[in-house]
Amino acid sequence: MGWAIALHGGAGNIPLTLPPERREPEEAALRHCLQMGTAALKAKQPPLDVVELVVRELENNPHFNAGRGSVLTSNGTVEMEACIMDGICKEQGVETIDPSHFITPNNIERLERVKEANRVQIDYTEPIQKEVEKQTPVADGDSQIGTVGCVAVDIQGNLAAATSTGGFVNKMVGRIGDTPIIGAGTYANRFCAVSATGKGEAIMRATVARDVAAIMEYKGLSLKDAADYVIQECAPRGTAGLVAVSATGEVTMPFNTTGMFRACATEDGYSEIGIWPSV
Amino acid sequence: MGGWAIAVHGGAGVDPNLPHERQEEAKQLLTRCLNLGISALRSSLSAIDVVELVVRELESDPLFNSGRGSALTGKGTVEMEASIMDGSGRRCGAVSGLTMVKNPVSLARLVMDKSPHSYLAFSGAEEFGRQQGLEMVDNSYFITEDNVEMLKLAKEANTIMYDYRIPTVGLDTCSAVVESPLQMNGLPISVYAPETVGCVVVDSEGRCAAATSTGGLMNKMTGRIGDSPLIGAGTYACDLCGVSCTGEGEAIIRGTLSRDVAAVMEYKGLGLQEAVDYVIQERLDEGKAGLIAVSRNGEVAYGFNCVGMFRGCATENGFMEVGIWE
């Protein structure tokens, strides 16, 4: 047991040929956010505060698809969504309480971001088709700069998760994805905290984040086995990745896409930053 | 296969002092909607078509809190939301923040069938509805006298915690926590009765579907989204079952109520009624809610942990029941 933290900057078809100048800023950002989150946990800040401050940092970084740097709707505007959930573990047999906050796209923020959006380079990602999944090879750059998220647990087993996104390129105005939906992109209870990323519609229909916790609870699987099961069996290949921590300080970061920008650290000194599957 | 089955609801959490005429009106509406669904099922319409047409009927009737007759926002306007899910393939569609679409559930269906997405909201959703040729009306169409009065009461209730006008007779059978007027969503139930509507169906091919529609919370902030349009919270359907929930939105969201019915069936192997009971007992903590559910085997079930739920259910073998109380 001990604290643990994991964060992601999106799962998708990140080509192995991603040039260093595209890769390095993101890796640096992940490292920086991991350090921030780790320092906060060491300073005994509650996981809910930790995930918020880490995701804020990721939102402020224009290399990720959240806050500043959000991808554009079909109208060339930015519409963001985010979610945070607190899975409180109280002692002495008190019932678990999970206050959750659901934030809808905020029109005022949207106006502010439009000005910044004019400075954002348009992502080359293909818009996701409903019926047919097009794996069109992209000429350059990553195929999907993704959603960001963070999960954390402290020594007492208090868990929290947060996810934030600009959605995907050329989405219809008003489109809401999995990110702000409790149980889809974000979930935390007394078993684990989960933040998912990938193709929103697939994550919603598979209730990815909730299912990791449900499988741990109802089938007794470990965090890693539950997360692997959901990623391998419940979401089609190429659609999802997640980061998760358990109440006992374990961490896992599975994905069924080409890559996922991710980082994690645990109290016993383990840490990892990566993009593609670690062989 | 066990044949078709259908259930409808008009909200969990009912004022025990609801006048008798209102209770009768509600039962008549539920019966009418049930019969509509039953004849559609007998004509071999698929589950997804049946849930849509039944919820459209509930939306068009001003009695419950959806479509016409929706609860009002703090500004006196109507903002509606709905979701629909097709168990085969778990396709889903949801909408929020609608002010002009006459039948929100039909827009949710179009989002599912005709858009690349699963959830659209506010102006983007209404624009899509317009493009698809859906019937659009003025926001005033949805507003009823009853609800204008209700909004006034709600605003007063927000400044004084309890309404001294609500008689406390007959509350001894209610929740043990309450010692003054029955509360839901933190305020007197006569004002905050959810009355969200929903329908779940399994057709004779064993396909399940679910749909939920609402105007949301009386006196809500504009932009507030509840559980009804959230897949896994207010609505869920998969191979095993179809579920629609109603009650305190926050409790339903954090309990991922509708998904959990299916999850305990899938991961714990519980039967439909067991799963419904388990979720109502274990997943709500202090929250008050209810749900209706059908399974692919033609079973129907419902459960609620509050005082009353407007509901009706029927199965192919002739069973039919409409009720409000325990």
d(CA B128, CA B120): 9
- Identify the weakest region by mean pLDDT among A34-38, A73-77, A212-216: A73-77
Question: Residue A94 has what pLDDT?
Answer: 28
pTM reported for the whole predicted model: 0.87
- Identify the weakest region by mean pLDDT among A25-39, B172-186, B225-239, B244-258: B172-186
Q: Which domains does chain A have, with CATH numbers?
A: 4-274 (3.60.20.30)
B230 compared with B224, residue with greater pLDDT: B230
Which tens digit of pLDDT belongs to each residue from A4-31?
999 999 998 888 888 888 889 899 999 9
The nearest alpha carbon in chain B to A167 belongs to B117
**CB of A218 less than 8 A from some CB of B:** yes
Average pLDDT over residues A169-196: 92
Nearest by Cα to A227 from A260, A180, A270, A201: A260
Distance of CA B225 to the CA centre of its chain: 14
d(CA B104, CA B142): 12
Question: Residue B210 has what pLDDT?
Answer: 98
Question: At which residue do the structure tokens 């659609």 appear?
Answer: A239
A21, burial (CB in 10 Å: exposed 0-12, middle 13-18, buried 19+): exposed
Question: Residue B157 has what pLDDT?
Answer: 77
User: Do A102 and B127 make contact, defined as CB atoms within 8 angstroms?
Assistant: no
Which of B117, B231, B285 has its CB closest to that of A181?
B231
Which of B121, B127, B267 has its CB closest to that of A176?
B121
Q: How many CB pairs under 8 A join A and B?
A: 115
A48-60 burial: b if 16+ Cβ within 10 Å, else e: bebbbbbbbbbbe
Please indicate if the annotation marks B231 as binding a ligand: no
- Identify the weakest region by mean pLDDT among A58-72, A80-94, B176-190: B176-190
Average pLDDT over residues A179-183: 93
**CB of A90 less than 8 A from some CB of B:** no
Catalytic: which of A125, A147, A179, A266?
A147
Please indicate if the annotation marks A176 as binding a ligand: yes
* Residue A252 DSSP label: E
Q: Are A71 and A169 in contact (CB under 8 A)?
A: yes
d(CA A11, CA A64): 11
Question: At which residue do the structure tokens 């089609």 appear?
Answer: A236
Average pLDDT over residues A218-224: 97
Question: Residue B214 has what pLDDT?
Answer: 97
- Identify the weakest region by mean pLDDT among A6-10, B108-112, B149-153, B184-188: B184-188
Question: Residue B33 has what pLDDT?
Answer: 98
B238-275 burial: b if 16+ Cβ within 10 Å, else e: bbbbbbbbbbbbbbbbbbbbbbbbbbbbbbeebebeeb
The nearest alpha carbon in chain A to B222 belongs to A104
Q: Which domains does chain B have, with CATH numbers?
A: 5-142+191-323 (3.60.20.30)
Report residue A21 as tokens: 């100048």
For A113, list phi and psi in degrees, rounded to 5: -70, -25
Question: Residue A145 has what pLDDT?
Answer: 58
B202 compared with A138, residue with greater pLDDT: B202
Question: Residue A253 has what pLDDT?
Answer: 98
Alpha-carbon gap: A217 to the closest alpha carbon of chain B (Å): 9
Which tens digit of pLDDT belongs to each residue from B240-293?
999 999 999 989 999 999 999 999 999 999 999 999 999 999 999 889 999 999
For chain B, what is the HEC assignment? CCCCEEEEEEEECCCCCCCHHHHHHHHHHHHHHHHHHHHHHHCCCCHHHHHHHHHHHHHHCCCCCCCCCCCCECCCCCCEEEEEEECHHHEEEEEEEECCECCHHHHHHHHHHHCCCCEEEHHHHHHHHHHCCCCECCHHHHCCHHHHHHHHHHHHHHHCCCCCCCCCCCHHHCCCCCCCCCEECCEEHHHHCCCCEEEEEECCCCCEEEEEEECCCCCECCCCCCCCCCECCCEEECCCEEEEEEECHHHHHHCCHHHHHHHHHHHHCCCHHHHHHHHHHHCCCCCCEEEEEEECCCCEEEEECCCCEEEEEEECCCCEEEECCC
Strand, helix or coil at A44? Answer: coil
Please indicate if the annotation marks B282 as binding a ligand: no
The nearest alpha carbon in chain A to B261 belongs to A214
Average pLDDT over residues B166-184: 47
What end-to-end distance do the CA atoms of chain A give, in Å? Answer: 27
Catalytic: which of B159, B168, B173, B196?
B196
- Greatest extent of chain B over all pairs of C-alpha atoms, in Å: 54
Average pLDDT over residues B56-77: 95
Q: Which pLDDT band, with edges at 50, 70 and 90, does A128 fall under?
A: very low
Catalytic residue status for A147: yes
Residue A36 pLDDT > 50, yes or no? yes
- Identify the weakest region by mean pLDDT among A180-194, A261-275, B148-162, B241-255: B148-162
d(CA B108, CA B95): 5
Contacts of A174 in chain B (CB under 8 A): 97, 120-125, 127-128
Q: Which pLDDT band, with edges at 50, 70 and 90, does B159 fall under?
A: low
Q: Which pLDDT band, with edges at 50, 70 and 90, does B92 fall under?
A: very high
Please indicate if the annotation marks A258 as binding a ligand: no
Which of A104, A129, A200 has its CB closest to that of B121?
A104
Which tens digit of pLDDT belongs to each residue from A91-118?
332 232 233 343 333 333 433 443 344 3
ipTM value for the complex: 0.88
Please indicate if the annotation marks A177 as binding a ligand: yes
Q: Which pLDDT band, with edges at 50, 70 and 90, does B175 fall under?
A: very low
Contacts of B253 in chain A (CB under 8 A): 100, 102, 182
Average pLDDT over residues B154-170: 54
Beta-bridge partner residues of A100: A85
Average pLDDT over residues A171-186: 91
